[in-house]
Structure 1
Amino acid sequence: MKKITLLLLFLTLLVNTGRLYAQINNSEPVAPSTKPVLKVDVPNPTADKPQSKLWYADKSWWALLPTSSGPSLWQRTAGGWTEHAQVRALLQGIPGRADVWADQNEIMAVGVDKHVLTVFAIRKVEKASKITWMAEVRGSLSPSVSTDEMETATIAKDKTGCWWVAADAGEKVCVWSSSSKNWTWTPPYVLAKGLNADDICTVAELPGQTAIIWSDQNRDAVSMRTHRNGQPADRWEDTVVIEQGNKTADDHLHASLATDGTLWLATKNSVDQLGSPQQVLRVRHANGQWRNYAYADLDVVKAPSRPVVIATQNPALVLAGHTIYNHKNANLGEIVFGRVDTSSAGLLRDVRTVIAPDATGWTKRNKINDITVPKKPFPDNAPWIILASDEEGNVFEADLKPLFFKP
């Protein structure tokens, strides 16, 4: 009898453990998002590489998206995404395609026009239970050669309170800086020259440093220079070549700093061969050493592109996503995400389609693209929201938390 009782207890424990394991590992399927959550009047509003337009503050997700008149501010509420129309009026005429750095009480952004960058701030003011918004332009930045064109720009603040803006300008990588005390911006400091007109750069936070990383298709390299906090604005460390050769460079960059000081950099290469990886995840460990991991093979129908990476509060859990273009039918493109495992041959585990637009009724070619994620790691106490958009101005969202979070 004792043997039977023990056997029953063992079987019960085994079944319950299996149920618990299934719950922890999110075995229940989560359907991809198929319908837009908002729409603006410009195409591809979540573009462009490597900008972030999304952040979490005051128990809400927020997004700064372009419109035909300038930037617009959106808040994710229980009733859906809602625009704060006052902000659009305040920012009318400012370039709408912007990269955002969010602090608790204020956001700073850099809007991109091909010949000038506009740095501006948005701040919420609460008085007598009434919320109003204030906006202020804090800088107008031009390249060293006025005819040089800028494709994109990013912004960051270091731990000393110094602000940094990085942009590609013609065949150069330029950086500007300012203290928040007087908003007097330095002239553009050129970090690199001789780039391809298609190349881009991004600014990334590092422990005690600020990094500018760029693609260099002419030299077939991905490179970086760093600035130590507190040093003069024009004192930058020598160039570090992260990887060079074998068509490793393309104009796709996106960085995320984990809570343990590891910098994750998602990039695309220029291999463009069937059966070969199209993307490279580059990992800078806290000791300054880089490792490069190729992933995401190209096949006859599906082409991975525009990769992003996002850390979480758990430094062991990092998520990477990208667009998959469909070569047979552009309308059938999708957004996928997976969990990074650098010991895995394919690098990404548990890959899921998180956005797959319902193309019913689409009368012309369209496609989903341009994932945007927050600069800071996903919070533990909120949904893990990402956005992407299409050529009609539709914006789609996905919550990654039910797929990947394990309490």
Structure 2
Amino acid sequence: MKKLKGTLLLFSPLFCLLLGGYEAFSQDTNTPELYLEPIFKVNYGDATADKPQSKSWTNEHGQWLVVGDEDGPKLLKKDALGWTGQSAVNRAWQTLPSRADVWSKGDEVQIVFVGECALNVVQMRYSKHRKGYKQRRSGYLPIPKDCNDIETATITQDSKNQFWVCADMNGKIMVWHSSNGKDWSEPFTLADDINNDDISLIVTLKGQVSVIWSNQNTQSINERIHIDGDDPDQWSEPIVVQEGDNNADDHLNATVFENGEMAMATKNSVDVINQPQFVLRFRDTKGQWTNIPYENLRTARSPSRPIINHIRQGRIFEVHTVRNRVNNRYFISVNEIIRKGDGWEFKELIQLKTEINGKNGDVTSSKAGFLPDEPKLIFFSDDLGHIYSFDLDTIL
């Protein structure tokens, strides 16, 4: 078996050219396989964690990515030399928590950084004079003194330009509000009966904000809605998206379509061979949910940590980690979700692999849908600090 450096490994006589290399095919599904080289290296394992978070964005100034590192998070930009660290910003970020979720709008970026019992929100604006981002302000959100741990947090902005952060803490789902991104409220509790392993996700819809969370104690996925312009503590009663049959786990990721519909990729807790591990949850513009199980657990294939995104006014993509239960090797499965009448089809497009023997995964992408004429980037990392990137345009 001969390695073609930086491109593909050839496993089968059947091959074609891709990115100047050779495309192989997986033995069990006949899916193309691509071996990737790292785009960047940090001294921090699983640098693209955690599950619901979006860490990249594209705008007229380029492509950007936030990753974790041992001395603080790093902002990377893609240029002619590849992905390079943004030194001025990264110096300002030293000692900040490393797990990040990004909200980007025009030249403005809001980032929530997550520590064990800390949430820090950073505001940045792109400077055309400096040809890079300049940090405008940074501040910590109020955290209750009895906090034991925060697993993850996400950030968004509503149609009234109000900012929101939600996070899990001490068996609760909490939300913080700010009218300017600088001054943040005390947290408001949306749920207080969740498992310590559960997480939440906050999403902007048309005229409202949705917080969705898993509750493994009640085997349920739940939602509460805030109408834009209402008082910050005025939320709907809990809405049960689905309950029972072990359908809840702490894996949530969503994409919002231009018409106001939303699709969410989640993992369940069934964990039975030949039974679906994931559920696609589709929310229509009236708030009605449809739940579609998919992606079976197999003897040699254990799927985990799905994310979902779409091309604006076009195709839907789901990406997740797979662990081979036989040899303990990992790869990233890239899939297209196709609507067919009242049904759905899930089609694996390519398997992304690396040369390391250890864990890789924690796929992340942009919070916004991909524009048709811009790169459609996904990222993942391994436990040795390597960062990997793939552009969906190469297979479209």
TM-score by length of 1: 0.86
Superposed CA deviations along residues 9-58 of structure 1, whole A, max 9, x for unmatched, are xxxxxxxxxxxxxxxxxxx9675242111111100011001101011012
Structure 2 unaligned segments of length 5 or more: list them: 1-21, 24-31
- Is 2:368 the counterpart of 1:376? yes
Give 1 or 2 for the bigger CA radius of gyration: 1
Q: Contact (CA 8 Å) 2:142, 2:185: kept in 1 or not?
A: no
Give the Cα–Cα distance (whole angstroms) in 2 for the partners of residues 299 and 166 of structure 1.
34
Where does residue 311 of structure 1 map in the other structure?
310
* Separation in structure 1 between the aligned mates of residue 98 and residue 345 of structure 2, nearest angstrom: 34
Shift of 1:346: 9.6
Which residue matches 1:401?
393
Deviations 1:253-304 (A, max 9, x none): 0011011211111100000000000000100011211100000001111101
Q: How does 1:43-54 map to 2 (within 5 A)?
A: 43-54=45-56
Distance 1:80 1:346 in 2: 41
For residues 43-82 of structure 1, the aligned pairs below 5 Å read 43-82=45-84
Q: Is contact 2:277–2:294 with CA below 8 Å preserved after alignment? A: yes
What code does the residue aligned with 1:387 have? F
| 8 Å contact kept, 1:258–1:312 | no
Q: Where does the alignment leave 5 or more consecutive residues of structure 1 unmatched?
A: 1-27, 360-364
Partner of 1:190: 189
**Equivalent residue number for residue 113 of structure 1:** 115
Please report how far the alpha carbon of residue 328 of structure 1 lies from its aligned counterpart in structure 2 after TM superposition. 2.0
- Give the secondary-structure state (helix, strand or coil) at the position aligned to 1:341: strand
- In 2, distance between residues paired with 1:98 and 1:376? 16
Contact 1:320–1:348 (Cα < 8 Å) also in 2? no
> How far did 1:79 drift?
2.4
- Indicate how the Cα distance of structure 1 residues 56 and 308 shifts in structure 2: closer, same or farther if over 3 A, else same: same
**Partner of 2:337 in structure 1?**
340
CA distance in 1, matches of 2:139, 2:214: 26
Alignment-derived partner of residue 86 in structure 2? 84
Q: Secondary structure at the match of 2:73?
A: strand
Conserved? CA contact 1:199–1:251, under 8 Å: yes
- Further displaced range: 214-223 or 36-45: 36-45
Query: 2:222 & 2:264 partners in 1: Cα distance?
Result: 12
Give the counterpart of 1:367 among 345, 359, 368.
359
Offset at residue 134 of structure 1 (A): 2.2
Q: Larger helix proportion, structure 1 or 2? A: 1
Q: 2:128 aligns with which of 109, 126, 129?
A: 126
Distance 2:186 2:147 in 1: 16
Q: 1 CA distance for matches of 2:229 and 2:352?
A: 43
The 3-state SS of whatever aligns with 1:87 is: helix
Residues of 2 paired with 1:369 and 1:132: CA distance? 29
Contact 1:91/1:135 (<8 A) preserved: no
> What is the CA distance between 1:343 and its match in structure 2?
4.0
Q: In the alignment, residue 65 of structure 2 is paired with which amino acid?
A: A
Q: Output the CA distance in 2 between the equivalents of 1:88 and 1:59.
A: 18
- State the Cα RMSD in Å: 1.9
Please name the residue that 2:319 is paired with.
321
Identity percentage of aligned residues: 33
Question: In the aligned structure 1, how far is the partner of 2:343 from the partner of 2:207?
Answer: 33
CA contact (8 A) 2:142 2:184 kept: no
Counterpart Cα distance in 1 of 2:132 and 2:219: 49
Give the match for residue 25 of structure 1.
none
Contact 2:282 2:289 survives alignment (8 Å): yes
State whether residues 337 and 347 of structure 2, in contact with CA within 8 Å, keep that contact through their aligned partners in structure 1. no
Map of 2:14 onto structure 1: none
Count of paired positions? 367
Conserved in 1, the CA contact under 8 Å of 2:332 and 2:361? yes
**In structure 1, the residue corresponding to 2:90 is in which secondary structure?**
helix
Between stretches 288-297 and 342-351, larger displacement belongs to 342-351
The 5-angstrom pairing of residues 146-165 of structure 1 reads 146-165=146-165
